[in-house]
Amino acid sequence: MMELLRHKRFFCHLRSFVWIGKKHKVLELACTILATCFLNATLQCLTYTPPLANYMLSLEHSQSCREQDFCMMCTMETHINQALRCTVDAIEPTHVINNLSRIGLHFRFGSQEDAHEFLRYTVDAMQEACLNRSTKLDRPSQATTIIHQIFGGFLRSGVKCLNCKAVSDTYEAFLDITLDIKVRCFVPLSVCS
């Protein structure tokens, strides 16, 4: 079977994955709920992101979380533990669905949304939960969370003085970066089989 991801003791395969010596089917989220395919695709990607899954399976966040209201990290921790420890073929991510408007104000149940946009809002909500909703932290401190370590990076901007040739570099933390993908040729799918 073809191996897709490998990180420490977590292995994802096309049809199954191995977690500490146990073999499981890749869990499918129930997509029978009206217009939730964007949510299904996003949650499957996040659930099978090895560093995130390893962290969420440790239950480290919920053991120290003091949030009384909604916490995206606790929500994802519950979801990932349910998905990876579950013995059924499909689960319904009802806690995520019930809190769509807390993830992004414009998200509504039954409304079709963009999966990438939902991913961005979910990652941002997890980052905010890691920061305990604090906006007073400086940018370098914000870049130390588990979410930034998994999904983030730094964008370097360089300026070179035309007179003295001195170079000034600045680094800006990001959790999402837009990249242009240029297609150079078309390969028919039949060639890939």
Structure tokens at 86: 């579950």
Q: How far apart are CA 11 and CA 5, in angstroms?
A: 6
> Tens digit of pLDDT for each residue in 154-180?
888 889 899 998 999 988 888 888 777
Torsion sign across C-alpha atoms 92, 46, 85, 2: positive
| Residues 16-29 as b or e (16 or more Cβ within 10 Å = b) | ebebeeeeeeebeb
Pairing of strands 90-91, 28-29: parallel
Structure tokens at 175: 């959790």
Strands (E), the chain: 3-7, 10-13, 16-19, 22-25, 28-29, 90-91, 153-160, 167-174
Q: What is the pLDDT of residue 141?
A: 82
Q: What is the pLDDT of residue 139?
A: 79
Per-residue pLDDT of the chain (193 residues; tens, 9 = 90+): 333 333 333 333 333 344 444 444 444 444 444 557 888 889 999 999 999 999 999 999 999 998 888 999 999 999 999 989 887 777 788 888 888 889 988 887 777 788 899 999 999 999 999 998 776 788 778 888 999 999 998 888 889 899 998 999 988 888 888 777 777 766 666 655 5
Greatest Cα-to-Cα distance within the chain, rounded to the nearest angstrom:
67
Q: What is the pLDDT of residue 190?
A: 63
Coil, strand or helix at 32? coil
> Tens digit of pLDDT for each residue in 73-87?
999 999 999 989 887
Q: What is the pLDDT of residue 59?
A: 94
